[in-house]
Amino acid sequence: MIKVANICCIGAGYVGGPTMAVIADRCPKIDVNVVDIDEERIKKWNDKDLKNLPVYEPGLAEIIERCRNVNLHFSNSIKEKIHDADMVFISVNTPTKKKGLGAGKASDLRWVEESARQVAKFSSGHTIVVEKSTLPVRTAEVIQSILRSSEEDNELNGISFNVLSNPEFLAEGTAIKDLENPDRVLIGGDNLEAMNALHAIYSRWVSKEKILFTNIWSSELAKLTANAFLAQRISSINSIAAMCEATGADVREVSRAIGTDSRIGSKFLDSGPGFGGSCFKKDILNLVYLAEYFGLNEVANFWESVVNLNNWHQNRISKLVVKKLFGTVTGKKIVVLGFAFKANTNDTRESAAIQICKDLMDEGAEIWIHDPKVNKLQIEKDLNIGKIYNRDSEENKPINKNGRWQFSKNFDIFDNAHAVLMLTEWDEYKNIDWEGISKRMVNPSWVFDARSIVDPIKVKKANLNLWRVGDGTSK
């Protein structure tokens, strides 16, 4: 039995940080070292003030407080920590390729490759290399071949490797809960001894039935498939929302009705403004690229349609806002509530709000954005129009064609608004005083609720017009 006493994780990001924190917490006898090329990020992980940690997740700061500098260490000492490790996790980012072969779909593996080269160069003795990053199927082969060439060079020094795949399934906002109480842990590999060594780590806190062994390719593909299935459910329910609006049905009732079928299940059936987040689109496009690569064009088209539907749905919402506001939003003030891709995170990656705001500004609207956690600089980056200014405006507000945007952290933004558009399901949006707000808005005015969070009775009582995603009952 291979015994693991020292772990190194390359990549102190959203996945590497929390995952290693939980391993350190649950395995006090293992020394866990998280390394990163980014000095600023490591400084933040080591900051005395736990509010400055680079990742915010409920429960994370408490673990960091318990374990940091006990058996959990963050540093830039990549060479040294790889050298000392019995097991190395690769948890670096794998964004979609921007150029070259597979641009726009395939994952950019340059950092994974670089990490494998570092492991090949610096490790000593026997090392188990664990793919934590989400990767295209058969990436383990690339890692294996880099490591194998090092084994051949170092045969006399007794250097050897095993490669395992151990994808993460944690969602933002619940990462610690997902890690502490996972639905399953997947270990893919072809060497039982190495697989058992990783099993021994997880079995410190995860029951044995939940730890699944597969071959390495199944494990890699299962990760992409899980995200593709989840995203597909959202596109499915969003497509049905459009049907509800056309037919007089209500998507909330349809979701409830189908969700009680135990074969379908009730989760991930909330229609919204379209899925966002760093993973869904990237992973589906990766799957599409792989299917195309293997000549499976129908398979590729099937999964690509999930992304296409999502784009169409976001576009449908902005078009609908324009239509309801008498066919034009030029110069009209629209309050956007929520910019994060979901509640309880400040992450805006692939947020539906980005495209919807851009589309509305293209139509000439004046957007006032509110979000409790996202900051103005991030929005400026996402809308990518921070540097274009309206010469006529005394305040130099950023503009997009004719439209422009403003940001506010407080609720003092409803004066003279023509519409309120709700894009993130933050708790503070659930109990808005619609009566009070209605008096400050232009008459007639609209509430567009893309998250089903308002109380329709209260909104209508406040004399506001209401559109809710998938609500055909008010036709």
Which residues are identified as catalytic? Answer: 168, 223, 279
Among 166, 227, 232, 355, binds ligand UDX (CB under 6 A): 227
Interacting stretch for ligand UDX, rule CB under 6 A, among 183-191, 264-272, 289-297, 310-318? Answer: 264-272
* Cβ atoms of residues 379 and 419 within 8 Å: no
Applying the rule CB under 6 A, the residues between 377 and 406 that interact with ligand UDX are: none
Angle at 70 between CA 86 and CA 80, to 5 degrees: 40
Among 111, 293, 302, 389, binds ligand UDX (CB under 6 A): 111
The encoded tokens of residue 158 equal: 């007794």
Interacting stretch for ligand UDX, rule CB under 6 A, among 5-13, 20-28, 184-192, 355-363? Answer: 5-13
Which of 57, 54, 51, 56 shows the shortest CA–CA distance to 41?
54
String of contacts with ligand UDX for each residue 199-218, x by CB under 6 A: --------------------
10 Å CB burial of residue 451 (0-12, 13-18, 19+) is buried
Q: How far is the CB of 280 from ligand UDX (least distance, A)?
A: 6
Distance CA 285, CA 294 (A): 14
Give the gyration radius of the chain's Cα atoms. Answer: 25
Q: How far is the CB of 396 from ligand UDX (least distance, A)?
A: 33
- The answer to whether 428 contacts ligand UDX (rule: CB under 6 A) is no
Among 342, 370, 373, 468, binds ligand UDX (CB under 6 A): 342
Q: Which is nearer to ligand UDX, 272 or 403 (CB)?
A: 272
- The answer to whether 129 contacts ligand UDX (rule: CB under 6 A) is no
- The answer to whether 133 contacts ligand UDX (rule: CB under 6 A) is yes
- The answer to whether 12 contacts ligand UDX (rule: CB under 6 A) is yes
Q: Count residues binding ligand UDX (CB under 6 A).
A: 40
- The answer to whether 136 contacts ligand UDX (rule: CB under 6 A) is no
- The answer to whether 142 contacts ligand UDX (rule: CB under 6 A) is no
Among 120, 198, 230, 254, binds ligand UDX (CB under 6 A): 230
Q: How far is the CB of 139 from ligand UDX (least distance, A)?
A: 10
Give 207-230 as a 3 state SS string.
CHHHEEEECHHHHHHHHHHHHHHH
Distance CA 136, CA 289 (A): 9
Among 89, 275, 368, 467, binds ligand UDX (CB under 6 A): 275
Give the start-end residues of each E strand in 235-383.
333-337, 366-370
Q: How far is the CB of 286 from ligand UDX (least distance, A)?
A: 9
Closest residue to bound ligand UDX by CB: 13
String of contacts with ligand UDX for each residue 83-102, x by CB under 6 A: --------xxxx--------
- The answer to whether 115 contacts ligand UDX (rule: CB under 6 A) is yes
Residue bearing tokens 């784009």: 311
Alpha-carbon torsion (329, 333, 337, 341), positive or negative: positive
- The answer to whether 228 contacts ligand UDX (rule: CB under 6 A) is no
- The answer to whether 81 contacts ligand UDX (rule: CB under 6 A) is no
Residues composing the chain: 475
Q: How far is the CB of 71 from ligand UDX (least distance, A)?
A: 21
* Cβ atoms of residues 54 and 17 within 8 Å: yes
Distance CA 105, CA 281 (A): 9
- The answer to whether 269 contacts ligand UDX (rule: CB under 6 A) is yes
Distance CA 13, CA 270 (A): 29
Which of 78, 79, 112, 89 shows the shortest CA–CA distance to 30?
89
* Cβ atoms of residues 269 and 275 within 8 Å: no
- The answer to whether 278 contacts ligand UDX (rule: CB under 6 A) is yes
Give 145-209 as a 3 state SS string.
HHHHHHHHHCHHHCCEEEEEECCCCCCCCCHHHHHHCCCCEEEECCCHHHHHHHHHHHCCCCCHH
String of contacts with ligand UDX for each residue 279-308, x by CB under 6 A: xx----------------------------
- The answer to whether 171 contacts ligand UDX (rule: CB under 6 A) is yes
**How far is CA 82 from each of CA 112, 135, 196, 203, 298, rounded to the nearest angstrom?**
15, 21, 21, 24, 43
Q: How far is the CB of 16 from ligand UDX (least distance, A)?
A: 6
Q: How far is the CB of 46 from ligand UDX (least distance, A)?
A: 14
Distance CA 197, CA 361 (A): 55
- The answer to whether 270 contacts ligand UDX (rule: CB under 6 A) is yes
Q: Which is nearer to ligand UDX, 284 or 441 (CB)?
A: 284
Applying the rule CB under 6 A, the residues between 15 and 74 that interact with ligand UDX are: 15-16, 36-38, 41
Which residues are within 8 A (CB) of 411 and not within 5 positions of it... i.e. 6 or more apart? 370
Q: Which residues bind ligand UDX (CB under 6 A)?
A: 10-16, 36-38, 41, 91-94, 111, 114-115, 133-134, 168-172, 227, 230, 234, 268-270, 272, 275-280, 341-342
